[in-house]
């Protein structure tokens, strides 16, 4: 009897504590919402200028993402729908360019992003709404949230947390003025694993009864992706956000439907695996297979592995060659590591890959997370040759190329075939390809190495889907 009474008392205390904690969280959110003017805020439009950064496109591992000037930036948000429309006009920041991100930008480039909240909208996109200061408070009020007190560098915060649609906590740090100073969460990255996404808000001002920061910094992967100075905020502005025009089925659709990827045989034992904006190349060796490039994500990587096994049956994939560490060329590496393949890349990437490819992937566990295979990296300096006595692949480092510190090309001397990424395309219907500093350096390196090239294959394969005759390329450039 006594034990039952004690248990009942304990349960009652826990229930009271739970109710008290919920009330305290609601009070924290309600107080901040009132102070910041979130109550009754249906729409919000803010504009300014600053900088944005090309995520995953750093010149070298560990460096900041490449920086661009944002001449103007406007985001309109409809919290009730929910929906968002962002428009930015950006220009080149660094001259000459350094790193990826489709540099250099010639003149002005306009980009728009439309987000219509629905059950099919990726959570990473929805966060552009719910990680704004007022958006966070609205999300915290509508979800099951908790709060705690935390002191950071002598400053006291009320930290309110709810669980995002991807099962990661979303935490907002509310200061003693009842202003949201920071919102942070984690996103799944096919390259970085469980990646921190953080938005920092400072220099608040009052805009017609709504307090909004005039300085916004967003960071992903530990480095800024957006740095804005806000000049104008319009609460409850008239906002019209139309869904974007429906596009065609992406080239990578086969990777998610289980269908075979399109392929093309370009030489004996050499196969292009097409689609996804960037191709892979499979090579048939005597006792094993080699794949060059693992772009996009792990879904694409798994599809390339399956297609390689179909093209080159009953042989293990021993090596995966990585041209450079930019995420559009490396985010499909994890399945190859899980397969037991050795990553062949420039030495500048060795310690970086050993770290990031072993990072936890708990938000979206993949085969590597479950297999816990050791990451094996074979580092290339200036040159490396893969051969079984028959098939020969020569790998060369493109020295001093400003696109990437460790960019490699593959040359097949028997086929006189050169495979490269991001440095040069082929002649266009209207004339020669545009040649920037990356392309000039590429041509200089090919000349330095005295490579006897007949055909060139860019990893970003041309729309007409055929290898480029080197003589035609040089002729179009007036360098035959």
Q: Which helix (H) or strand (E) holds 304?
A: helix 298-311
- Coil, strand or helix at 350: helix
In angstroms, the CA 190 to CA 337 distance is 13
Beta bridge partners of 125: none
Catalogue all structural domains in the chain, each as residue range(s) with its CATH number: 41-235 (2.50.20), 253-476 (3.60.15.10)
Q: What is the pLDDT, as a whole number, of residue 4?
A: 57
Q: What is the pLDDT of residues 145-186, one digit of tens each?
A: 999 999 999 999 999 999 999 999 999 999 999 999 999 999
pLDDT at 1 > cutoff 70: no
b/e per residue 155-167 (b: at least 16 CB within 10 A): eebbbbbbebebe
Closest by CA to 190, choosing from 44, 369, 399, is: 369
Q: What is the pLDDT of residues 346-404, one digit of tens each?
A: 999 999 999 999 999 999 999 999 887 899 999 999 999 999 999 999 999 999 999 99
pLDDT at 246 > cutoff 70: no
For tokens 């560990």, the residue is: 62
Q: Which of 1-15, 158-172, 325-339 has the lowest mean pLDDT?
A: 1-15
Q: Which two tokens stand for residue 44?
A: 């919000």
Averaged over 264-272, what is the pLDDT?
96
Model confidence pTM above 0.95: no
Averaged over 328-345, what is the pLDDT?
97
Q: Which of 73-87, 144-158, 421-435, 444-458 has the lowest mean pLDDT?
A: 421-435
Q: What is the mean pLDDT of the chain?
A: 92
HSE toward the beta carbon, residue 434, CA cutoff 13 A: 8
- Coil, strand or helix at 364: coil
Q: How confident is the model at residue 264 (pLDDT cuts 50, 70, 90)?
A: very high
């Amino acid at each position: 009897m006594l034990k039952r009474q004690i248990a009942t008392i304990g349960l009652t205390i826990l229930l009271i504590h739970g109710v008290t904690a919920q009330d305290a969280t609601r009070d924290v959110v309600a107080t901040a919402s009132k102070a910041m003017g979130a109550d009754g805020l249906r729409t919000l439009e803010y504009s300014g200028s600053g900088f944005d950064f090309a995520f995953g496109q750093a010149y070298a591992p560990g460096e900041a993402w490449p920086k661009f000037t944002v001449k103007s930036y406007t985001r309109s948000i409809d919290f009730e729908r929910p929906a968002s429309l962002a428009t930015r006009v950006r220009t080149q920041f660094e001259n000459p360019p350094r790193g990826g991100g489709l540099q250099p930008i010639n003149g002005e480039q306009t980009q728009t992003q439309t987000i219509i909240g629905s059950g099919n909208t990726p959570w990473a996109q929805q966060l552009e709404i719910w990680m704004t200061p007022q958006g966070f408070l609205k999300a915290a009020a509508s979800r099951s949230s908790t709060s705690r007190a935390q002191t950071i560098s002598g400053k006291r915060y009320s930290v309110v947390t709810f669980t995002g649609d991807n099962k990661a906590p979303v935490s907002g740090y509310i200061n003693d003025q009842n202003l949201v100073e920071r919102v942070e969460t984690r996103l799944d990255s096919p390259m970085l694993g469980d990646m921190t996404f953080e938005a920092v808000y400072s220099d608040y001002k009052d805009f017609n009864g709504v307090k909004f920061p005039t300085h916004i910094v967003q960071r992903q992967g530990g480095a800024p992706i957006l740095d804005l100075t806000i000049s104008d905020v319009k609460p409850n502005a008239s906002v019209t956000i139309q869904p974007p025009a429906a596009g065609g089925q992406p080239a990578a659709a086969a990777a998610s439907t289980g269908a075979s990827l399109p392929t093309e045989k370009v030489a004996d034992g050499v196969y292009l695996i097409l689609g996804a904006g960037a191709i892979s190349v499979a090579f048939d060796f005597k006792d094993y297979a080699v794949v060059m490039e693992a772009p996009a994500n792990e879904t694409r990587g798994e599809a390339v592995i399956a297609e390689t096994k179909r093209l080159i049956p009953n042989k293990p994939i021993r090596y995966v060659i990585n041209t450079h560490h930019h995420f559009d060329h490396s985010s499909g590496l994890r399945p190859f590591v899980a397969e037991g393949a050795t990553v062949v890349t420039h030495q500048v990437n060795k310690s970086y890959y050993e770290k990031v490819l072993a990072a936890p992937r708990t938000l979206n566990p993949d085969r590597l997370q479950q297999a816990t295979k050791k990451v094996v990296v074979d580092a290339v300096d200036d040159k490396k040759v893969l051969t079984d006595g028959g098939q020969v692949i020569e790998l060369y480092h493109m020295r001093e190329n400003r696109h990437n510190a460790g960019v490699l090309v593959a040359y097949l001397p028997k086929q006189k075939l050169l495979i490269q990424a991001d440095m040069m395309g082929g002649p266009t219907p209207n004339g020669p390809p545009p040649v920037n500093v990356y392309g000039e350096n590429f041509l200089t390196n090919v000349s330095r190495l005295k490579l006897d090239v007949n055909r060139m294959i860019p990893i970003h394969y041309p729309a007409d889907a055929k290898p480029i005759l080197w003589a035609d390329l040089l002729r179009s450039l007036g360098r035959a």
